[in-house]
């Protein structure tokens, strides 16, 4: 079974530029998550999708971050314009239709390491 | 709100030593609790979980018990190996909110 795929693996941009990350979850997984992991910290949940609907985006900085999952499969996360403090690893994860309720496992992709100069 | 506090590292142990990594949480209701592990060069993966009070999660010789009275989920292993060197994250899930601790880096020396 293929895992969660993410691209690109690495990205370097200058501040005020825009950037987009792509994620393809495990086949059949209805729930998709985007996390931001700053160096030395644990992952921070940015947004959670159930199929193509947003379940929770309370920690997404909506003035510069946006995410979509139009067909309920793959997803993109965009930052526009980027700031220095956006330098982090952006992780995508997916889980089965019932999400994480009852302790269901989420499966993580390898992440995209973003450096903002 | 929901939050997780875990023991800061780094932790360095000799092979076959006993390991404890402390984790406490704050949450309303009954969260599910997890330990995730990140081995060098690899992605995050689930190590073990517990979904209700007094449940014990276990995997690969690691154990953690969901203690509601002390709001804790400490990770333990009786005899660590070099291959256990990794970063360990305590996490909780409650009402569509997933929270991770800051992570504890474990290094096991031969």
DSSP string, B49-103: EE-STT-EEEETTEEEE-BTTTTB--EEESS--GGG-EEEEEEEEETTEEEE---
Looking at chain B, which residue has its C-alpha nearest residue A3? B43
> What is the Cα–Cα distance from A47 to A42, expressed in whole angstroms?
15
Would the pLDDT of A70 be above 90?
no
Instruction: Determine contact: A44 vs chain B, CB below 8 A.
Output: yes
Would the pLDDT of A1 be above 70?
no
Interchain pair B32, A105: CB under 8 A: no
Residue from the list B49, B97, B100 with its beta carbon closest to the beta carbon of A43 = B100
Chain A (73-92) residues lying within 8 Å, Cβ to Cβ, of chain B: 91
Residue from the list B45, B49, B97 with its beta carbon closest to the beta carbon of A103 = B49
Average pLDDT, rounded, for chain B = 95
Determine the average pLDDT of the residues in B88-105. Answer: 93
Would the pLDDT of A103 be above 80?
no
Instruction: Determine contact: B46 vs chain A, CB below 8 A.
Output: yes
- Residue A32: predicted pLDDT: 95
Would the pLDDT of A19 be above 80?
yes
The structure tokens listed for B4 are: 């997780």
Reported as a pLDDT band with limits 50, 70 and 90, residue B28 is confident
């Amino acid at each position: 079974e293929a895992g969660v795929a993410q691209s690109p693996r690495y990205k370097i941009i200058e501040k005020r530029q825009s950037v987009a990350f792509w994620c393809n979850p495990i086949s059949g997984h209805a729930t998709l998550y985007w996390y931001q992991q700053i160096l030395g910290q644990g992952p921070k949940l940015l947004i959670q999708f159930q199929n193509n609907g947003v379940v929770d985006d309370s920690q997404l900085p909506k003035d510069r971050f946006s995410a979509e999952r139009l067909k309920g499969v793959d997803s993109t996360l965009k930052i526009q314009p980027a700031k220095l403090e956006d330098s982090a690893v952006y992780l995508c994860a997916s889980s089965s239709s019932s999400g994480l309720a009852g302790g269901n496992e989420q499966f993580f992709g390898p992440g995209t390491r973003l450096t903002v100069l | 709100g929901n939050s997780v506090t875990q023991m800061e590292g780094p932790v360095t142990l000799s092979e076959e030593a006993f390991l404890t990594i402390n984790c406490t949480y704050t949450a309303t209701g009954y969260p599910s609790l997890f330990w995730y592990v990140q081995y060098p060069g690899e992605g995050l993966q689930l190590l073990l979980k517990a979904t209700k009070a007094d449940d014990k999660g276990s995997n690969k010789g690691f154990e953690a018990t969901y203690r509601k009275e002390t709001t804790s989920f400490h990770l333990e292993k009786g005899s660590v190996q070099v291959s256990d060197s990794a970063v360990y994250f305590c996490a909780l899930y409650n009402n569509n909110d997933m929270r991770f601790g800051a992570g504890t880096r474990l290094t096991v020396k031969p």
